[in-house]
Amino acid sequence: MAKDPRWDNVVVIDHPLVQHKLSILRDVGTGAKEFRELVKELAMLEAYEATRSFQLLETVVRTPITQTTTFVLAGKKVAVIPILRAGLGMVEGIIELIPAAKVGHIGLYRDPETLQPVEYYCKLPEDIGERDVLIVDPMLATGGSAAAAVQFLRDRGAREINLLVLLAAPEGIEEVNRLCRDVTIYTCAIDSHLNDHGYIVPGLGDAGDRLFGTK
């Protein structure tokens, strides 16, 4: 894991396996099946890093050889919140790793003209305020969608919020930090900039369309 000197709340997952998989994900020749598998795997690897600070409790286990003191999770409650629709691609890998996590959904799309997020769905676990929240979305571009999701969640009582993306633009990180305090952002890479249509450069194109084959 690497900290970016520009932002102390941003963690870049620089593990070689992550960087290798990300390169294949970016490739225009990668088809929808492989794209979905890579998004799932990258989300799982990212969640592994994002949960590094979870607390442990001592317990006693009897192995076939002897009794020993070991560690288990201290009952951390987690909520995984995908931003529809591309965030859906990241859920499965994370709940395989954290099967007790609850999943909420926030439906947002970017208006293609204004690039502003428009909410069309929101369903969250009732006890969201007691859970560590992992908002998941492959792309942090202008930051409008992520910032809106953080604000919805805060309005509904969420406290501990982490944002897991696969690619981030500097503009998106700045926007999240401007509008939302205390959010840790995990990403596999920070790209160069946004183009005139709000797409990340070099990026990977439209994550939702590549996941679901809609273009």
Angstrom distance (rounded) from CA 198 to CA 25: 19
Angstrom distance (rounded) from CA 89 to CA 46: 13
Is residue 200 a contact point for ligand URA (CB under 6 A)?
A: yes
Angstrom distance (rounded) from CA 55 to CA 73: 6
Stretch that binds ligand URA, among 15-23, 27-35, 68-76, 204-212 (CB under 6 A): 204-212
Nearest distance from C-beta of residue 4 to ligand URA, angstroms: 19
Active-site position among 110, 154, 156, 184: 110
206 among known catalytic residues: yes
Contact assessment for residue 90 and residue 40, using Cβ atoms and an 8 Å cutoff: yes
Number of residues that bind ligand PRP (CB under 6 A): 22
Is residue 212 a contact point for ligand URA (CB under 6 A)?
A: no
Residue whose CB is less far from ligand PRP, 41 or 76: 41
Is residue 208 a contact point for ligand URA (CB under 6 A)?
A: yes
- Strand-pair category, 56-62 with 2-4: unpaired
Which entry of ligand URA, ligand PRP, none binds 143, CB below 5 to 8 A by partner kind? ligand PRP
Is residue 203 a contact point for ligand PRP (CB under 6 A)?
A: no
94: which residues sit within 8 A by CB, 6+ positions away?
43, 44, 47, 80, 101, 134, 136, 164
